[in-house]
Homo-oligomer: A and B are copies of this chain.
Amino acid sequence: VDVKKIAVIAGDGIGPEVVAEAEKVLKRTEEVFGYRFETEHALFGGIAIDEKGTPLPEETLTVCKNADAVLLGAVGGPKWDNNSKELRPETGLLGIRKALGLFSNLRPAVVFDCLKDASTLKPEVLEGTDLMVVRELTGGIYFGEKFRRESAQGEEAVDTCAYNVAEVERIVRQAFEIAQGRRKKLASVDKANVLETSRLWREVVNRVAPDYPDVELEHVLVDNCAMQLLRRPASFDVIVTENMFGDILSDEAAMLTGSIGMLASASLGEGSFGLYEPVHGSAPDIAGQGLANPIATILSLALMFRTTFGYAEGADAIEEAVANVLNAGHRTSDIAVDKSKAISTTEMGDLIVAAI
């Protein structure tokens, strides 16, 4: 059999707890579908700072590069928030994206039936919302030159935002292709009335658009998009945008679904390699208490199956198991209406495993 290698990065906060449940699910799919996985654990983020003196140790990068895919829990926490830049978990996150060439971040924002009421939006506005933000992940102001200099008005800080044609084209084409596999609508978000990078972005989008005649394209200014997401979320299908705008809009989109604790994400590079992680963070306030909801991480695994391995059967089975467990009324405390009936992280994991 074909053995798939998975680098497992538990990370900080609730990361280890939710990743442990996903690993149980992984095992279960080996039994049921005959898949073969080899997992290798690696240190990353705050724990790597504590144990190795750097958020992204060289060994971790090697483990990831030798793997077919990476499963990441979450990184960061107040403990490291006041560290110098090189000793911060976020620096590791930017480093791993760049080192692994993960130029595309897919952030599906869907509404889970059982969580409809968790949104702060009215149910009738939310009805039918199922969108995907495709965020460029290795360019723009995140990775441009940064420095301080003296100016007549005191110290000055500078960030540089740059995009070249090739960088824009690969993410935009990917977004068009994703749209072709969905409802065939693409919103390209920029600030072309102000930014030069956005004008280049829009030129590239308009140049490649004729190659995807079946996809309906709209250009939306970023400020307007922040509004339209609130006014007509269900009207969006795929949204493609640059790194900084994608950071803001993908979080806004996730939050409006009310399902943020359940959302998976994928960061993809060339080929089939990808890093998969839940959208929620490390939640240090509830870490180690068995309160975390492992579903977003388990669904990230399903996304890995489908996207990197082409294991549609296993992916379907995981997603159905999650749906069945939720439909049977089981809830971790974050999504429980009656908190006294909430089940623990491991109980939720076990139920999903049993349902596969």
- What are 5 A-B interface contacts by the 8 Å CB criterion? A88-B193, A158-B160, A158-B196, A224-B251, A226-B249
Q: Mark A164-196, 1 if CB is under 8 A from B, else 0.
A: 111100000000000000000000000101111
Q: Out of B90, B164, B249, which one reaches A151, CB within 8 Å?
A: B164
A201 proximity list for chain B (CB < 8 A): 157
Name A's B-contacting residues (CB within 8 A): 88, 90, 94, 120-122, 125, 141-142, 144, 146-148, 151, 153-167, 191, 193-197, 199-201, 222-224, 226-227, 230-231, 244-245, 247-252, 254-256, 260
CA distance A122 to B122 in the complex (A): 5
Q: A153-B165, A256-B230 are in contact. Are A158 and B197 (CB under 8 A)?
A: yes
A121 proximity list for chain B (CB < 8 A): 120-122, 230
Closest to A166 in B: B153
CA distance A141 to B141 in the complex (A): 10
Is B200 within 8 A of A223, CB to CB? no
Is A230 within 8 A of B164, CB to CB? no
CA distance A272 to B226 in the complex (A): 31
Q: What 6 pairs between A and B have smallest CB-CB spacing?
A: A154-B165, A153-B166, A157-B200, A146-B196, A156-B164, A227-B255
Q: Out of B88, B167, B193, which one reaches A153, CB within 8 Å?
A: B167
Closest to A140 in B: B159
Is B166 within 8 A of A154, CB to CB? yes
A199 proximity list for chain B (CB < 8 A): 157
Is B254 within 8 A of A148, CB to CB? no
Is B164 within 8 A of A154, CB to CB? yes
Most buried by B among A146, A147, A156: A156
A165 proximity list for chain B (CB < 8 A): 153-156
CA distance A159 to B224 in the complex (A): 21
Q: Out of B142, B147, B196, which one reaches A194, CB within 8 Å?
A: B142
Shortest CB–CB separation between residue A146 and chain B, in angstroms?
4
A142 proximity list for chain B (CB < 8 A): 194
A224 proximity list for chain B (CB < 8 A): 251
Shortest CB–CB separation between residue A316 and chain B, in angstroms?
30
Closest to A227 in B: B255
CA distance A141 to B148 in the complex (A): 15
Is B94 within 8 A of A194, CB to CB? yes
Q: A248-B226, A255-B227 are in contact. Are A162 and B166 (CB under 8 A)?
A: no
CA distance A144 to B144 in the complex (A): 14
Shortest CB–CB separation between residue A114 and chain B, in angstroms?
18
Is B155 within 8 A of A193, CB to CB? no
Question: 18 other contacts beyond A146-B196, A156-B200, A226-B251, with CB at 8 A cut-off?
Answer: A90-B194, A94-B194, A141-B195, A142-B194, A155-B164, A155-B200, A156-B163, A156-B164, A156-B165, A158-B161, A159-B161, A191-B247, A226-B226, A227-B252, A227-B254, A227-B260, A231-B255, A248-B248
Is B223 within 8 A of A248, CB to CB? yes
A164 proximity list for chain B (CB < 8 A): 151, 153-157
Is A159 within 8 A of B255, CB to CB? no
A166 proximity list for chain B (CB < 8 A): 153-154
A88 proximity list for chain B (CB < 8 A): 193
